[in-house]
Amino acid sequence: MIAKIIHARSEIMQILTVDVGTGTQDIFLYDSRLDLENGFKLVVPSPTMIVRQQMQEATRKRETVLLTGVTMGGGPSHWAVEDHLRAGLAVYATPDAARSFNDDLDVVKETGIQVVSDDEARQFEGKATHIELLDFDFSRIQQSLQAFGVSLSNLAAVAVAVFDHGDAPPGYSDRQFRFDYLDARIQAENRLSAFAYRSEEVPPIMTRLEAVVKSARGLDVPLVVMDTAPAAVLGATFDPELSNHHRVMVVNVGNFHSLAFRLGPSGIEGVFEHHTGLIDLQKLERLLVSLADGSLKHADIFDDHGHGALIYASKPLSLNDGDFGVAVTGPRRNMMRNSSLNPYFAVPFGDMMISGCFGLLAATADILPEFGERIQQSLHGAGGSGTPPWELA
């Protein structure tokens, strides 16, 4: 199939990239004929925000709700379901949809959600408001682009990023489980693109990534899936101010999670991840300084209800002289606007909101090498600077 794609589309190659966050889903269509700055893009409400709106409308109308589909991101949609239940209204969910709220279905049932089989769900046809859960809706994106006269007739691949805690065993912290996963991936392959997979190679423990694969059934092109935080950081490094340095630290201040990677010639030198809602500027600065000098401990963040920290290289990163310092990206990056660390606000190819999409594009070049040369030419130019040192480890 891939050989046919390359032959048929040697002149034009499109890659659809979709970075699914809590507030927005950021969509960029790579077209090999265009400079990246001219690529078509959409920044629209995230799937969980769309479900939240649908749930709120059902609550207002006092309707019974049936949730079907696959495991997707929670947050706003989960809170809307809780509000619906508190209003004394019923919520039914098929098992895969119910796991959007907790991987343990017994815990889901304790919240008041009634878990029903796919066969049982059919009895609610015409009797309940049906809401389908999924993080990736190719048909909707395709229709949105077509409404503006943009065809996907030369689509060669699709890449989607979501945040995945993973399926922690009963009684095991999902925060620790995610950090165990991050550690294992970095130990196995120390590069940001190690967090991207071909659809058929997704680890079974990464249930949200697997759900994206299920949602994309019917695609006749390769699919790459990736974790959102490494995608955003990788994308940010294509800002020329960062790509000219061998050691940098990039923090992605997201709506729900803030994650910083310390990067150098050996690859990933250190990483931490915390919940954005539990930090302020002063705490974030302390964490970044500690990550830079290598003193940050896992317990410093985990015991503060964050995910944790990992240090892989003992050589400190100077934040004041010699090294680059701190670069920041993400939808809540303004938290660092008045930081004493004097951070650099990365703008890869002129658009911070699409950083994750550029990271997805770079990872696709690595994961699908049949497309790598053309993508790399677009990312770096025909005579560009090449792959960043932390992606060569």
Mean pLDDT of 336-357: 92
Lowest-confidence segment of 169-173, 202-206, 291-295 by average pLDDT: 169-173
Helix, strand, coil percent values for the chain (each to nearest 5):
40, 20, 35
- CB of 393 within 8 A of CB of 269? no
Q: Which domain holds residue 54?
A: 47-133
Q: Does residue 324 or residue 389 have the better pLDDT?
A: 324
Averaged pLDDT, 314-333: 83
pLDDT band, residue 383 (cuts 50/70/90):
very low
CA distance 360 to 163: 13
Is-above-0.85 flag for pTM?
yes
In a domain, residue 89? The reply is yes
The token pair at 92 is: 């039914």
Residue 108 has pLDDT above 50, yes or no: yes
In a domain, residue 86? The reply is yes
Percent of the chain with pLDDT over 70: 93
Which of these three, 133, 148, 163, is where a domain ends?
133
Residue 160 within any structural domain of the chain: no
Is 287 within a domain? yes
Whether 65 maps to a domain, the answer reads yes
Q: How confident is the model at residue 381 (pLDDT cuts 50, 70, 90)?
A: confident
The last residue of one of the domains, among 76, 103, 133, is 133
- Residue 112 in domain: yes
> 357, 360, 356, 365: which is closest to 384 by C-alpha?
365
Residue 84 lies in a domain: yes
Distance CA 224, CA 209 (A): 10
The pLDDT tens digits of the residues spanning 11-68 come to 789 999 999 999 999 999 999 999 999 999 999 999 999 999 999 999 999 999 999 9
Q: Could you tell me the CATH number of the domain that includes residue 127? A: 3.40.50
Question: Final residue of a domain: which of 329, 346, 363?
Answer: 346
210 domain residue, yes or no: no
pLDDT band (50, 70, 90) for residue 234? very high
Over residues 303-317, mean pLDDT? 92
For the chain, what is the domain count? 2
